[in-house]
Structure 1
């Protein structure tokens, strides 16, 4: 909906964001923060390391007013609102411009160091079954705003910029969607991408040291603080009682919502006192690398309202995914899902790039997974060891450049604990030298215990790992999953993707070995 200058001034003033208001008398018919996305009648947001010369081109294309930070003085004589937080201002004005779409959707927000994407896809599938496919999705992998494939988009950020997010939410409402499942990153709160947004249910899966570095969070304290902001912006909270730092998490959660709005889940322990007061506990009945059966049990009157007790089959390997499933079941139940829909969804859910399995009679089993930090890689390797006969366990892994610097020692530690042979390679090196990244990972691996092979060309590394594996070996391709590009020097460089490479290599080897 168009915005008048007076409306913009009032919305910003209501949030105490205004340093200097504009006397703009016209009307805004488009919003943009990228000069390539400007149309006539655009309100333009100056954010990040914006170069003033870009505004010349943007004005020519149709910028009629600007929201700028303090100190940005080259606004081309355009009407300007000066604010102390452009990102927050963009979120406030975006939700108003798109007619507050969040008020027309039941929203689930999911955060955690690991498992966000898996839990989001599980919740999405449960609500698809419940609502006859009237549920939207915003995840690390994709954005879905409608049933038609033209409303399925590739994601570029775990949580989109606010302008994109509210535009997609508006599109979802226009397409008849009634629910939405979102991954919410710590960066979403640190960079105000979800400023002013409130969730019907916030899900907190876990927390461990990650995303610490110059371009992300300066300290773990900053990281966990940003993560916990989800509590402050949720009507109800689903929290993993087995998470590290649970004492700090529960203290903050109890301040954020009343007791009947806080739902705890945990793995069932032998000693009931170890269940940390969980409302719902889960335990494994059977599991293998194709899937698992698990049992849910409620504890207390509040859990009786959920009526989730029973046995469920999950068509995904990994006992860690049972916890993700439990969280998704509680969250979707709170926004209207039924247990039959949940059971059906767990049997059908597929997450692109998550524990995808390929087998070769001569070269064993290959798993493709987005695991990219200590917790996820260690859990994956431990699970493979526990559920598969393995002569040699090979892993192909790297780490991104210019982000998540703190992950690198953890990746090395996980490899050291779980692998026999490690192919250290590139994974979105950006502006860093991938060899330097590999050296940081390698520093935590005992070369006497784990054979280390450095091959910076990822396609070659995958090919060599599969080619040299035997019938009882396992190859884990970690990190990139279905990503079809490598981020190199600021450019999304086309890349075949791990799953496609594995399938091609297996087919070529089978043909050559006939």
Structure 2
């Protein structure tokens, strides 16, 4: 599809977004009064424009950013503000530039979503693992034709993975990547959908063929994200209204409201659940531990016994993610008879998630994970208790929290862990302008259990090294070091810049004398 000035105006009018068209000499609603323009590029970076670019002036855009627009012969911009005083480019003035950007980007890239079966996965925890599991199944069923957008990696050809910047990409980037995926022959796209994706309209106008809602608990509460849990949950719930079919965790908090959302929009619902022996909660897909060690588990889907599964990723909570993935795959058209495809999730490993390392010099286990909120820290500690509780481990939690956002996480991480561990080490995590040390000191101040030790070491490699040396100094005990929040990321965000960082997993491998994870 070709995007022209006229077709852009028509699309904006269709969605009641256009206010007027402004040039230095004219205000109008009729694009026919202006020279026809065919756009050859779209951009939200005023430094990347030319004579064929449609520029979106979003976010904290300033008039001075257009200082070079006329020299670059920019033909048109989309904005909520009139900039005719600083540029001769035609302005499409809209009610909401982010919504306009999503709609016009999809049109510019030829609506690639129409050539894909698009799966959206949301929830407070488990999105990434479920997305990877689902992509593995769909990839196997389609012989390598499933793409992935996740908070860890993006995959546009079913084979190669590149590190991502956002859980859900900006709309323009998302549709550009979808276009690449379609051009690469992809038939499916699995993508994580964050609450911010709906809060700031990154997926506006996109309908998911299958939407999956895993769970909900308070998170991302801050002045720049969600002011309340209600607002956070409301944004998450928009996935239901924008899906053709819903996959729902039957045991999720507020599941009844989510069912009401689906009914209000005429959407069929498939459910999944993690069950223990004797549980009678009905669900279309059930994952249940198969033995006392919870190493294997059985899956039943819509009455079909799909057999026994064994995951490469540890943790009982991942059984529920596996049940979700199988339910999603079934909803997307994968046959229950395709055992090879369904079992493809067994081989999935995600760098930086539940990675376990054993020290060569002491009785110490380290686990590197992306856990970053109350729910995920609780799930991680539940895993440690179940697998290693009989050995009475001394648990050290190395943690920080994101700066300038999600302020609720700081206290909740402490609250989730303080009665279950021996010591905290508070350290650097990603931030905008807040000093690492201030966040660490704030988290330390939330400790109310006088029996838990704590220290602040803002340099992250030093914090990890200190915990390892402390464990080695106590050869008479079994130590578990939990290093959370960063996974395998090779950078730390400081003052909005990515500063190179060795990575939690590589630091542990080096300190433990390992060539790879144990």
Q: Tell me whether the two structures share a fold, i.e. TM-score over 0.5.
A: yes
Measured after TM superposition, the shift of residue 162 of structure 1 is 0.5
Measured after TM superposition, the shift of residue 147 of structure 1 is 4.7
Structure-2 residue corresponding to 1:19: 19
Structure-1 residue corresponding to 2:319: 322
Structure-1 residue corresponding to 2:365: 365
Specify which of 290, 296, 299 is matched with residue 285 of structure 1.
Answer: 290
Counterpart contact for 1:66–1:75, Cα < 8 Å: no
Answering whether residue 248 of structure 2 is matched by residue 242 of structure 1, we say: no
Structure-2 residue corresponding to 1:86: 97
Counterpart contact for 2:399–2:484, Cα < 8 Å: yes
What TM-score does the superposition give when structure 2 sets the normalisation length?
Answer: 0.91
* Higher-helix-fraction structure: 1
- CA-atom RMSD, angstroms? 2.1
Counterpart contact for 1:292–1:316, Cα < 8 Å: no
Closer/same/farther in 2, CA of residues 51 and 153 from structure 1, 3 Å limit: farther
Counterpart contact for 2:309–2:343, Cα < 8 Å: no
Structure 1 Cα separation of the partners of residues 292 and 341 of structure 2:
19
Structure 2 Cα separation of the partners of residues 497 and 71 of structure 1:
45
Moved more, 455-464 or 34-43: 34-43
Measured after TM superposition, the shift of residue 241 of structure 1 is 1.5
Measured after TM superposition, the shift of residue 89 of structure 1 is 0.4
Structure-1 residue corresponding to 2:135: 124
Structure 1 Cα separation of the partners of residues 348 and 235 of structure 2:
30
Structure-2 residue corresponding to 1:355: 354
Structure 1 Cα separation of the partners of residues 89 and 316 of structure 2:
57
Aligned pairs for 1:19-418 (under 5 A) are 19-21=19-21, 23=31, 24=34, 25-70=36-81, 74=85, 76-147=87-158, 149=160, 152-258=161-267, 261-268=268-275, 275=281, 277-286=282-291, 292-298=295-301, 303-304=302-303, 307=304, 309-338=306-335, 339-363=338-362, 364-388=364-388, 389-418=391-420
Specify which of 491, 495, 510 is matched with residue 489 of structure 1.
Answer: 495
Structure-1 residue corresponding to 2:26: none
Structure 2 Cα separation of the partners of residues 329 and 434 of structure 1:
41
Structure 2 Cα separation of the partners of residues 174 and 75 of structure 1:
39
Structure 2 Cα separation of the partners of residues 74 and 359 of structure 1:
64
Closer/same/farther in 2, CA of residues 123 and 166 from structure 1, 3 Å limit: same
What do the CA deviations read for 1:199-226 (whole angstroms, capped 9, x no partner)? 1100000000000101101111111000
Counterpart contact for 2:296–2:309, Cα < 8 Å: yes
Moved more, 473-482 or 410-419: 410-419
Counterpart contact for 2:42–2:55, Cα < 8 Å: yes
Moved more, 349-358 or 245-254: 245-254
Counterpart contact for 2:2–2:110, Cα < 8 Å: no
Structure-2 residue corresponding to 1:480: 486
Structure-2 residue corresponding to 1:512: none
What do the CA deviations read for 1:285-336 (whole angstroms, capped 9, x no partner)? 1375xx83111234xxxx24xx454322222110000001100111012223
Structure 2 Cα separation of the partners of residues 205 and 178 of structure 1:
24
- Structure 1 segments, 4+ long, off by >6 Å, are none
Q: SS of the residue aligned with 1:120?
A: helix
Counterpart contact for 1:238–1:330, Cα < 8 Å: yes
What TM-score does the superposition give when structure 1 sets the normalisation length?
Answer: 0.92
Structure 2 Cα separation of the partners of residues 74 and 183 of structure 1:
41
Counterpart contact for 2:411–2:446, Cα < 8 Å: yes
Moved more, 75-84 or 463-472: 463-472
Measured after TM superposition, the shift of residue 491 of structure 1 is 1.2
Closer/same/farther in 2, CA of residues 76 and 469 from structure 1, 3 Å limit: same
Measured after TM superposition, the shift of residue 342 of structure 1 is 4.1
What do the CA deviations read for 1:395-452 (whole angstroms, capped 9, x no partner)? 1100000111111110111220321111011101321122221233223323522110
Structure 2 Cα separation of the partners of residues 269 and 506 of structure 1:
36
Q: SS of the residue aligned with 2:361?
A: coil
In structure 1, the gaps of 5 or more residues are: 510-514
Closer/same/farther in 2, CA of residues 439 and 10 from structure 1, 3 Å limit: same
What do the CA deviations read for 1:34-57 (whole angstroms, capped 9, x no partner)? 123324410000000012211123
Measured after TM superposition, the shift of residue 132 of structure 1 is 1.2
What do the CA deviations read for 1:259-307 (whole angstroms, capped 9, x no partner)? xx2011122256655x1x422222111375xx83111234xxxx24xx4
Counterpart contact for 1:94–1:162, Cα < 8 Å: yes
Structure 2 Cα separation of the partners of residues 308 and 202 of structure 1:
24
Counterpart contact for 2:83–2:91, Cα < 8 Å: no
Counterpart contact for 2:401–2:430, Cα < 8 Å: yes
Counterpart contact for 2:156–2:184, Cα < 8 Å: yes
In structure 2, the gaps of 5 or more residues are: 23-30
What do the CA deviations read for 1:231-271 (whole angstroms, capped 9, x no partner)? 0011110111111222322222222334xx20111222566
